[in-house]
Structure 1
Amino acid sequence: MADSEVLRQLEESTGDARRLQLETLRSILEANAGSAYLRRHLSGYLPDALDATTFRRLVPLSSYDDYADFIARIADGVDPPTSLSFDPLLCFFYSSGTSNLRPKLIPFFDSSHAKSASNLAHQASSTLLRRLFPPRQTVNKILWFLYAGNVTETKGGFKVMAASAYPFHRKGPNPLLSMIASPPEVVLGSDNHQQMYCHLLCGFSNSASIDGIRAPYAAGLVRAIRLLESKWKQLCNDIESGLVNPEITDAAMRDAVQELLGGPQPEMAKRIREACGKSNWGGILGELWPEVRYVACVTTGSMEQYYPILKHYAGDLPLLCGDYFTSECPVGINMDRMRSPEETSFVILPNAAYFEFIPFEMGDSSEAKETVDICGVEVGKMYEVVATTYRGLYRYRLGDVVKVVGFYNSSPQVQFITRAPKEASEIFTERELVSAMENFQLMLREGHRGEVVEFAGFLDSGSGLKHVIIFVEVSIDCMFLQRENMEESIAYLRRCCSSIEGCLGNVYRVKRSDGDLGPLQISIVKPGSFDGLAKLAMENGAPANQYKPPKVIRNLGLVDLLKASVVVRASLEGN
């Protein structure tokens, strides 16, 4: 489809959002009203008799727990996929959430309506990027940190993978493969660490033709750059000799990269050594890949914490934010990719799913609140997003809180604010935790005491008074990791606790003042602790493509791992 036609269809779909939303709901119900899940709520109603109001009155709001048994029985081959949808079940997608060890399974049904909406969303995304950076004939490769090899199979014979991996496993030609600097054997490799290394090696070998650097999430791009920081000398040796390091044990990946290298490149190795040997890596990406015009990844939500460090590495290169696509469905498209994360907004796609919005205020329960439709939202207000999808999920709470900042034609334009609390008892949000850690980072920089590398918060309800623990990984040069400075570190951390507590939101402050919460504890963990969490999550099925380091931890196993890595801790009252 020509770019002009894609944009015309996008304009048309957002021009009469209410009509398109009602048509979307009708097509979903016409196909799936007879599914076992919906029959429980719509018994006696024919699809033609169901308008949006009746549907919302009869079908309750839902969360993943409401589908877990259905999905497990379908995955095991016990029940047919018609429990959720009458469209053919193609596979399952992993969710990207990582607050628990195992990712959720999201069914992916072969719906013609869903395929049409998804194609428009992805084509519009590509078109908007091409308008910013028109294609060049010879500089046409992307250093794209993609990992699509983690594919498993359920007892019932259905494949399970990341949503972003699906294009590499469906039948037929895949135009993405011709754009990526690495051969398919790297993208489809079996070991994330080896894949990341080989992506870098292929990026260097194709240096003159790299037009952009991409990753699904900012966290993944930061991990790749950290690998470059630790392995650049080894990478240079590989480039210089034209031989892949023996550490790469995946035979298919190794052979493909070896062929791509095409022999020794001593001048390339020399140039990389000169760039990486500098003490300041500001703007390093442009130095290493001189033809690159942009860096792109999701930088909103919990990914916003990585934006400053990526800007440091990118230098003058624009850092583009991606779209609002979830494993459950596409939600919104980013019409202005050049904006910073705090200014990024997404236009809701009216044909992607039937959307509802629960009014949201920090600290308030949303249980008793009525939803509003796409035309009932108000600019300046916050809402939790609810979606009825073509993937067998009905009035499903996506768990995202957005703020309406305007309208594009008649479709709401929203900013991602935070993940919604999973329980009413939760006392801080991801957004508030990120804000608190930004404050902590500023304090560390002012005292030249190091950098925050990663963090996560946990409400400890164990013995004694409930209290929040924030686990923080810091740079290896940080004073907190030096045994001779332990007393000074504890005293400094204790002084920081009060300022950090002030950023954790109204609910936290009220509970602290009422005596329902004990003092905040800051626990500094060993370098590499959060890499250990990533490795564990991937071993338990989390896709490397979509891995997002957890910010609010709910799994006690993850908490125990971090507690075992603590080197120093402090709170306002005692150690």
Structure 2
Amino acid sequence: MLAVIKKNRHTRCFSESPAFAAFHSAIRNFGREDNDGISDDILLDTFRTTIPLTTYDSYELFVAKFLSETCQEDDVRDMFSPGLPHHIAVSISTSSPKPKFFCQYLHEGSMRYGDGNGGETFWTFSLYYRQLVKIQNRNGDLIRTIPVAMGPSEMVRLRNGLKVENDHLNIMLAAGEWATSPVAVGFIRKYRTFLLTHTLFALGHSKVETIFIVFTTSAVDMIRYMEEEWETLVASIETGELPPWDGINDVREYLEFHFPPRLERAAQLRAVGKPTDQPGWLLKIWPMLKSVISIGSGVFSVAVPKLRFHLGSDVQLRSLGFHSSETHVATVYDPSDLNLFKATSQDIIEYLDVTKAENASSIVPPWLVEIGKHYEVVCTTHDGLWRYRLGDIVEIAGFDPTNGSPIMRYFER
């Protein structure tokens, strides 16, 4: 907590927002205009007693300064954390009918998504961005281009060095060892075509060991599209000619180079046939398949039974963890349980008792939560959120015996 406070204490949002006036007033009462000379104990106590619960309303006006197509460095530097953000994350549709935007800075722990088991990975990565924010200095020179996109897209870019400034070169690349699809597939924006094209390239590989897809609902959509387009998919693999799907033409020239005919593989797939009423069908397509990594808790649990049917009992369905656009709340605790998570220490996670008043005095620290009780997750992040209400309710299932971290289940929104 001290590290987060000290890192972000002089940022513009924290200094200028009325929400944090009580903190600054308390610091001044100690005879300091800033908190550089305040002891750690006093700094922590001041945080706990003066920082209120916040919502997106507390940050929206500050985030809005980034969302014009071109903005001045002096207007946005050090806004939520020191420097300029790496990207601006857009919330997914489950959190609000209106999108929310959160500046994400590079810091230790920025890599939120883990790998699979090694081997060939069918990864349905996207490189789509909503807009590009161009930061100019006082001389009008472009100093930074910041994508506005969903978090998983930017994690793919970050871990593989795919900067948006180089997309004219990135689009020509093969993904290499980390995915079965060439990079160009990540630029397809039509959802159905995006999934089908990733699937087409993965079907050309017989040794896939891991499927990495963010949501289980998307995995079930993928299976439905495979059934609808099965003959087209197999014929395309046989001939090396890409189908005329809506939205594929923008990247067709970059995909064709990576898509030779595979007659033997097409014959294998024809022998398997369509997925209709075939338990363990995905394992018949990819005999080396070991695991599918996907978010299957909360609203996405509705897709789990059908996905398990097509995986069979020999393929493990693993959770991706408890992620949000704002923070990484918790990691997978038991790989066999899609709704059991261990709280992380990447950011500061606190717990709001849902049976008490909705204010900061009802916050419970992690070492005082009770098994079986429900709490709303509250986070203070390296990216400049302060006691932010995620709106997600969890049930405490226990504590990790190695370090005491709370073990939780997602309960509701």
1:311 Cα shift? 0.7
Alignment partner, residue 36 of structure 1: 12
Q: CA deviation at 1:277?
A: 3.8
User: Residue 102 of structure 2 aligns with which residue?
Assistant: 106
Aligned length: 370
Distance 2:310 2:179 in 1: 21
Can you list the C-alpha shifts for 1:212-234, whole angstroms capped at 9, x where unaligned? Answer: 11201111111211111211111
Identify which of 386, 392, 408 aligns with 2:384: 392
- Alpha-carbon contact 2:275-2:281 (below 8 Å) kept: no
* AA in 2 matched with 1:296: I
Alpha-carbon distance between aligned partners in 1 of 2:275 and 2:305, rounded to the nearest angstrom: 20
Secondary structure of 1:158's counterpart equals: strand
* Deviation digits for residues 56-79 of structure 1 (CA, Å, limit 9, x no counterpart): 321210011211111102333373
Partners of 1:412 and 1:249 in 2: how far apart? 45
For structure 1, which runs of at least 5 residues remain unmatched after alignment?
Answer: 1-24, 420-575
Q: Distance in 2 between matches of 1:304 and 1:393?
A: 29
1:230 paired to 2:228: yes
How many percent identity over aligned positions? 23
Shift of 1:171: 8.8
Gaps (5+ residues) in structure 2?
28-34, 136-144, 163-173
Q: Give 3-state SS (helix, strand or coil) of 1:384's partner.
A: strand
Residue 248 to residue 242, structure 1, CA distance change in 2 (3 Å): farther
Note the C-alpha offset of 1:252: 6.3
Q: Hey, what's the Cα distance between the residues in 2 that align with 1:59 and 1:365?
A: 16
Summarize deviations over 1:126-169 as a string: whole Å, max 9, x none: 4xx54xxxx4xxxx211112222234124756320111111443
> In the alignment, which residue of structure 2 is the partner of 1:73?
65
Letter in 1 for 2:152: S
Residue 117 in structure 1 maps to residue 115 in structure 2:
no
Question: Cα distance 1:264–1:141, how it changes in 2: closer, same or farther (>3 A)?
Answer: closer
Alpha carbon RMSD of aligned pairs, Å? Answer: 2.6
Distance 1:218 1:181 in 2: 19
Contact map agreement 2:12 2:79 (CA 8 A) in 1: yes
Residue 411 (str. 1) matches residue 408 (str. 2): no
- Residues 368, 395 of structure 1: alpha-carbon distance in 2 compared, 3 angstrom cutoff: closer
Q: 1:163 maps to which residue?
A: 151
Deviations along 1:3-32, one digit per CA (max 9) or x if unpaired, are xxxxxxxxxxxxxxxxxxxxxx21122122
Secondary structure, counterpart of 2:352 in structure 1: strand
Q: Which moved more, 1:381-390 or 1:278-287?
A: 278-287
- CA deviation after TM superposition for structure 1 residue 108, in Å: 0.9
Cα distance between partner residues in 2 of 1:257 and 1:37: 44
**Residues 249-293 of structure 1: per-residue CA shift (max 9 Å, x gap):** 54563234433332251x433432343346413211111111111
- 1:64-100 CA-to-partner distances (Å, cap 9, x unmatched) read 1211111102333373243433233222011123464
Deviation at 1:205, TM superposition (A): 0.9
d(CA) in 2 for partners of 1:162 and 1:26?
A: 29
Distance change (3 Å), C-alpha of 1:308 and 1:269: same
The residue number in structure 1 matching 2:81 is: 85
Native 8 Å contact 2:366 2:406 kept in 1: yes
Counterpart residue number, 2:43: 51
Match of 2:324 among 323, 326, 333: 326
Give the Å deviation of 1:405. Answer: 1.1
- Normalised by the size of structure 1, how large is the TM-score? 0.60
Query: What is residue 193 of structure 1 aligned with on the other side?
Result: 192
Question: Does the 8 A contact of 1:147 with 1:192 survive in 2?
Answer: no
Contact 1:75–1:155 (CA<8 Å) still a contact in 2?
A: no
Q: C-alpha distance in 1, partners of 2:319/2:14?
A: 37
Q: CA deviation at 1:354?
A: 1.5
Aligned to 2:127: 148
Alignment of 1:475-554 (within 5 A): none
Q: Give the superposition deviation at 1:345.
A: 1.5
CA change 1:100–1:388 in 2 (3 A) is closer
In the TM superposition, what whole-angstrom CA distance separates every residue of 1:504-538 from its partner, at most 9, and x where no partner exists? Answer: xxxxxxxxxxxxxxxxxxxxxxxxxxxxxxxxxxx
In the TM superposition, residue 346 of structure 1 has moved relative to its aligned partner by 1.2
Q: CA deviation at 1:331?
A: 1.6
CA distance in 2, matches of 1:65, 1:308: 38
1:355–1:312 distance in 2 versus 1, CA, 3 Å: same
Alignment correspondent of 2:273: 276
What TM-score, normalized to structure 2?
0.81
Moved more, 324-333 or 149-158: 149-158
Question: Quick check: 2:125–2:156 contact (8 Å CA) kept in 1?
Answer: no
**Shift, 1:385, TM fit:** 0.6
CA offsets 1:477-498 (integer angstroms, 9 cap, x no match): xxxxxxxxxxxxxxxxxxxxxx
CA distance in 2, matches of 1:29, 1:278: 53
Preserved contact between residue 53 and residue 360 of structure 2 (Cα < 8 Å): no
The 5-angstrom pairing of residues 468-479 of structure 1 reads: none
Q: Does 1:305 align with 2:302?
A: yes
CA shift, 1:406, in A, is 1.2
Q: How does 1:307-386 map to 2 (within 5 A)?
A: 307-316=304-313, 317-339=315-337, 341=338, 344-350=339-345, 352-361=346-355, 366-367=358-359, 370-386=362-378
Spell out, residue by residue over 1:166-221, the C-alpha distance to the aligned partner (whole angstroms, 9 max, x if none).
14434974797522010111123343332212111111111x22111120111111
- Rounded Cα–Cα distance in structure 1 between residues aligned with 2:275 and 2:379: 49
**Structure-2 separation of matches of 1:198 and 1:279:** 21
Amino acid of the structure 1 residue aligned with 2:405 = S
Counterpart of 2:171 in structure 1 is none
Match of 2:284 among 263, 282, 287: 287
Residue 154 and residue 118 in structure 1: after superposition, are their counterparts in 2 closer, same or farther (change >3 A)? closer
- Please state how far the C-alpha of 1:294 moved relative to its aligned partner: 1.4
- Aligned mates of 2:275, 2:364 — CA distance in 1: 55
Change (3 A) 1:349 1:298: same
Deviations 1:306-352 (A, max 9, x none): 1111111111222112211222122211132122x3xx3211112x1
CA contact (8 A) 2:52 2:359 kept: no
Report which of the two has the higher share of helix.
1
Where does residue 564 of structure 1 map in the other structure? none
Tell whether the 8 Å contact from 1:182 to 1:203 is kept in structure 2 after alignment.
yes
Partner of 1:181: 180
> Match for residue 449 of structure 1?
none
1:277/1:82 Cα in 2 relative to 1: closer, same or farther (>3 Å)? closer
Q: CA deviation at 1:383?
A: 0.6
For the structure 1 residues 117 and 383, does the alpha-carbon distance in structure 2 shift closer, same or farther, using more than 3 Å as the test? same
Cα distance in 1 for residues equivalent to 2:316 and 2:377? 30
